[in-house]
Structure 1
């Protein structure tokens, strides 16, 4: 019996395309952002054209947030 929660694998001979991966999040200096733990903030520095790490000022603290930016959202 198969596990219904496991993802279906893509066969190389399938005529259907695989799902495209979501685009990488990019941030720029001055962007307003929201973080699940730290709240609202503003990007004050970026590394690697905004795809590697972002230094965010949250008012009372500054945090360096690295990719994959799971909890960081652009406003």
Structure 2
């Protein structure tokens, strides 16, 4: 369970390292951006995994949970 908590904290505080939304928290990037990536293919590695998770969070309307985690566990 502790690993899941740390993973969610990291996801909530992760920023986009490139492109149009460089420097933005993943949670603050619009859903359509993730939808486009889901059609074209997410990047390899950790970023792609986090973007895939964020896409699922957004399409399921769970953004408020991630925003609360970011507020409570800001890095």
Superposed pair shares fold, TM > 0.5: no
More strand by share: 1
Task: State the structure with more CA Rg.
Answer: 1
- Compute the TM-score of the two structures, normalised by the length of structure 1: 0.24
- Compute the TM-score of the two structures, normalised by the length of structure 2: 0.24
More helix by share: 2
